Structure 1
Amino acid sequence: SPLTVSRPKPLWSEQNPLDWWNALNAAMQQLHAKFPNELKKVKVIGLAGQQHGAVLLDDKNNVLRPAILWNDGRSSEECLALMNSVPHAMKIAGSIIMPGFTAPKALWVRKHEFDIFKKINKILLPKDYLRFLMTHDFATDMSDASGTGWLDIEKRQWSPELLAACDLSVKNMPQLFEGNAITGKIKNSISQYWGLSENVKIVAGAGDNAASAISMGSVNPHTAYLSLGTSATFFIACEKYQPNPTAAIHTFCHAVPNYWHHMAVHLNGASTITWITHLFNEDIPTLLSGPRNADLIFLPYLSGERTPHNNPHASGVFFGLNNLTTKADMTMAVLEGTAFGITLGYEALLQDPNLQIDEISVVGGGSRHDAWGIMFASALKRPLTYRKVREVGAAFGAAKLAWMSDFPSRIIAEPEVEKVLQPNEDLMLQYEKKYREFKKLYHDVFKN
């Protein structure tokens, strides 16, 4: 089902949580109509979803206001207030507290909507609100909870100190589970409506990025995963908690026990493709088929940026427009600028001398465009590995976590390699100069 995002004010991004529930019911009805026998065989379901969103419930489990989403940038002042209140917050939370996180959203509600704040009984993440409607359990997993700003990442438990700084406590939080642990079972009424058998269980699941990594094998500390969804991330697993927050890198719990992960997060991934295609009402091949007359630079910050800038106020910029500029020029600049922005995140990861990246594997819907992949490979100066089932990474990872509830010690096999895209030597030479100009443009526009 199509879902829309509400942006009633600059930097705001909200959705009605009940729209997610209606969409889930519609999807399950479609599955029941097409695959009734297969649905009856389902024993365990895994969940994955967008991180950071704040779903606020009262003591009767009613939603108090629209959910504030991961790419909402209104709470930068609250981030500073929380880090000032808890000076070692970055060490606890594994990251700079950023406007996308859940904690500053709650502080914003306390400041601007206090009548709502004082009614809060539970704060749930998006997928966990759906879990509650499915099972009536308040539960979450370690990877998704890591993005709240309230989790003690090293100890894998809620931080009373960070919660208290927001006038909250552990009683306002869901129970924590590892990603492959059973959190409950689907209510009989829901099972019947969806065409499932009785006693179908739910595992804790994962945030979307951790789930995508699980789909690709997940826990190899020498394989980085470049996830190209609406947002984009560089993700690499690690066996120790070694945060690097000053580079705007997130160090979070992984979705499986005894693992963590580093993540460079970019709020503008394949969403830039969606934006340019909607702007001109043409697909990428059509847009690129026209004449090219100008070499533009595009800063891709349509929704602000996290790594490495941590700047919710950054915005998109075309530089070099003239009377001859074409749609093809602008489209090429969008593709290249998005690749350059993500290259900055890769460089931020490499500031950690303990990391050794032997392979970069691409997942997500943006991985279907080979020409774009060659641009990324050329900007990164690294070959990119494309494995099968990569376009449904988070969903497949959630299913793997459900499977691991019965086989928790099984090694997660990596999907078969489909192809490897190599850097283009001509593009690498061209991009060396253009990437320097890209970095200088950001500095000139947003640092002066």
Structure 2
Amino acid sequence: MYLGLDIGTSAVKALIWDGQAVCGTASAPLQVATPTPGASEQDPEDWWRAVCQACADLKGQAGWDAISAIGLSGQMHGAVCLGADGAVLRPAMLWNDNRAEAESAAMAEALPGIGARAGVPPMPGFTAPKLAWLARAEPETHRATAMVLQAKDWLGYRLHGGFVSEMSEAAGTLWLDQAARDWDDAALAFSGLTRAQVPKLAEGTAPAGGLSRDAARALGLRPGLPVIRGGGDAMAGAVGVGVVQPGRAMISLGTSGQYLLASDRHAPNPERLLHSFAHCLPGGYIQMAAMLNGAAPMAWLARALGRELPDLLAAAQTADPRHTPLFLPYLTGERTPHGDPSARAGFQGLSHGTGPGEMMRAVIDAIAYSFADAQDALNEAGLSADAPLAIGGGARSDLVLQTLADVLGVPLRRPAGADQGPALGAAKLAALGIGATALSDLATPPEIGAVFTPRADLRHADRLPRFRALYTGLKEVCARP
């Protein structure tokens, strides 16, 4: 039995895998703080409390007492700053924290060619500009920072006591030379750091350490249990559904969104804001379009209207197209294809006939149109996918996936247990890390729960160009303070 732990943005997920099937799952919710405009933060101690809660819920399920290894996954691009004593110095800055806009522009100017080396041009959500922002905005905290970790690697520190990471997580910092699979000293120096302040690197299948007595006591597991480094959430999600061989593709609909293809080489295309990152598997790479706003706008609308999400999705099924507005989904700016942290969300075309169902239908359309932009960027780079697998919480909705298939013009396949993604990948990496399974076994296609075949929907032929024109028309308006 193998335990996968995933530190998401909205929840921590824990999963037990027996080498063939999932035996148990549990989750514990998380909240995001926005203390100032552009900020997005969480207290790492909340991650630990959520891990303990999820594991407590799993204890009564089959397989808990037979766990033989732990694998880790988590949200990428963050910054957990630790002092010399290992204590957290400030709340973790998350992947969608956009305060480092000036620093990302300065990094691009100071380090010509960094987009090709790091796999994507500097943008505010990445870790390197965040630390440069910290040096300017909170210099005392920056000076006190002895170690910078990502979410899952901080969890690893709590589990085994070591400062270690792996290639896929490092790939999302802008500090990794992707082709060399090693830290980039010039990028670290831009952030005011040295190699002594970042974790030791190895592949995602490498051991991180043994479970400490304190952690074992907190989780109800045996001390010394092997902890495997794992992978960033996008890459671990790919492992979970077998996207480990060149050409295989995946769409992830979590809080953020990714359109990802596995590759065997680093092939940067910074002009189109595609991410060419190291995979969490030895020698592997991915090519990815990354959107800051995946399924999150659906949850946002449900909160804003005070409605349950399943009720709104049901209402969207019968939405009146004559009163369905357009929606820009950029609640926290956007990466692919715009690279625009100032972009914001909004409805256009509201009328007296617009109700909650029409608004949710507009949000679903907008999510699909964002993935159409992503697919165009991949196609322009010479990349294509015949029938991507769809995972993440948003993939539970038939309406969402059918709309995506209609807009993208390709079939989408939803694996059984599509929302297990990164946690399942983490468990599989745990098995691979202790030699209980082979890399070739991870390539076995998952059981498919449903296939969504594209239909001819003339609505989108009219609405997609208008959606794109709406962003262009509002870009200057959104950029103003």
TM-score higher than 0.5:
yes
Cα distance in 1 for partners of 2:115, 2:441 equals 32
Q: Which SS does the other structure have where 1:400 is aligned?
A: helix
| 2:447 alignment counterpart | 416
Name the CA shift for 1:398/1:157 in 2 (closer, same or farther; >3 Å): same
Distance in 2, matches of 1:240 and 1:183, equals: 25
Report SS of the residue matched to 1:183: strand
Question: CA–CA distance in 2 between the matches of 1:55 and 1:351?
Answer: 36
The letter of the residue matching 1:411 is D
Q: 1:16 is matched by which residue type in structure 2?
A: D
Aligned to 1:306: 335
Q: Distance in 2 between matches of 1:322 and 1:243?
A: 44
- Alpha-carbon deviation of 1:281? 2.0
Q: 2:295 aligns with which of 266, 270, 279?
A: 270
Distance 1:71 1:237 in 2: 24
- Whether the 8 Å contact between 1:361 and 1:385 is mirrored in structure 2 is yes
Matching of residues 44-443 of structure 1 within 5 Å: 44-282=69-307, 283-288=311-316, 292=320, 293-353=322-382, 355-405=383-433, 406=435, 407-412=437-442, 413-425=444-456, 427=457, 429-443=458-472
Deviation at 1:73, TM superposition (A): 0.8
Summarize the Cα distance change of 1:378–1:290 in structure 2 as closer, same or farther, 3 Å threshold.
closer
The DSSP-based 3-state class of the residue aligned with 1:350 is helix
How many residues in Structure 1 have an aligned counterpart in Structure 2? 443
Instruction: Quote the offset at 1:196 in angstroms.
Output: 1.4
Question: How far apart are the structure 1 equivalents of 2:202 and 2:319?
Answer: 54
Q: In 1, distance between residues paired with 2:142 and 2:161?
A: 22
Tell me, in whole angstroms, the C-alpha distance in 2 between the residues paired with 1:409 and 1:250: 24
Quick one: which amino acid aligns to residue 17 of structure 1?
A: P
Partner Cα distance (2:340, 2:319) in 1: 35
The Cα shift of 1:434 comes to 0.8
1:365-403 residue CA offsets vs partner (Å, 9 max, x unmatched): 111111111100011011111122221010000011011
Amino acid of the structure 2 residue aligned with 1:423: P
TM-superposed deviation, 1:176:
0.7
The one-letter amino acid paired with 2:371 is I
Question: In the TM superposition, what whole-angstrom CA distance separates every residue of 1:404-432 from its partner, at most 9, and x where no partner exists?
Answer: 1114544311212222111121x2x2211
Tell me the TM-score normalized by structure 1. 0.96
Report the CA distance between 1:220 and its aligned residue. Answer: 2.7
1:195-224: CA deviations, max 9, x gaps?
212320111100101011001112232221
Counterpart AA for 2:445: E
Give me the whole-angstrom Cα distance separating, in 1, the residues matched to 2:124 and 2:151.
17
- Contact between 2:415 and 2:450, CA under 8 Å: does it hold in 1? yes
- The amino acid that maps onto 1:83 is A
2:12 counterpart residue number: none
| C-alpha distance in 2 between matches for 1:417 and 1:331 | 27
Asked whether the equivalents of residues 180 and 408 of structure 1 are also in contact (C-alpha less than 8 Å), the reply is: no
Letter of the 1:155 partner, please give it. Answer: A
CA distance in 1, matches of 2:75, 2:102: 23
Tell me the secondary structure at the aligned position of residue 118 of structure 1. helix
8 Å CA contact 1:222, 1:359 repeated in 2: no
Partner Cα separation in structure 2 for residue 264 and residue 240 of structure 1:
16
Match in the other structure for 1:12: 39
Question: 1:291 & 1:362 partners in 2: Cα distance?
Answer: 24
Q: Secondary structure at the match of 1:204?
A: strand
Percent identity for Structure 1 against Structure 2: 35
TM-score (norm 2): 0.89
Q: How many Å separate the matches in 2 of 1:386 and 1:28?
A: 27
Name the CA distance, whole Å, in 1 between partners of 2:455 and 2:171: 37
The Cα of 1:190 is off from its aligned counterpart by 1.8
The verdict on how the C-alpha distance between 1:335 and 1:289 changes in structure 2, with shifts beyond 3 A counting, is closer
1:29 aligned onto 2:60: no
Q: After the TM superposition, which parts of structure 1 deviate over 6 Å for at least 4 consecutive aligned residues?
A: none
Q: Return the letter of the residue paired with 2:49.
A: N
Distance of 2:335 and 2:259 partners within structure 1: 12
CA–CA distance in 1 between the matches of 2:278 and 2:84?
29
Q: Distance in 2 between matches of 1:267 and 1:233?
A: 9
- Secondary structure at the counterpart of residue 369 of structure 2: helix
Please report the RMSD computed on the Cα atoms of aligned residues, expressed in angstroms.
Answer: 1.5
- The whole-number CA distance in structure 2 between the counterparts of 1:254 and 1:140 is 13
Structure 1 residue 441 displacement after superposition: 0.9
Contact 2:319/2:361 (8 A) holds in 1 = no
- Alpha-carbon distance in structure 2 between the residues aligned to 1:287 and 1:278: 15
Letter of the aligned partner of 1:418 in structure 2? G
SS in 1 for 2:227: strand
1:276 CA drift (Å): 1.1
Contact 1:227 1:362 in 2 (8 A): yes
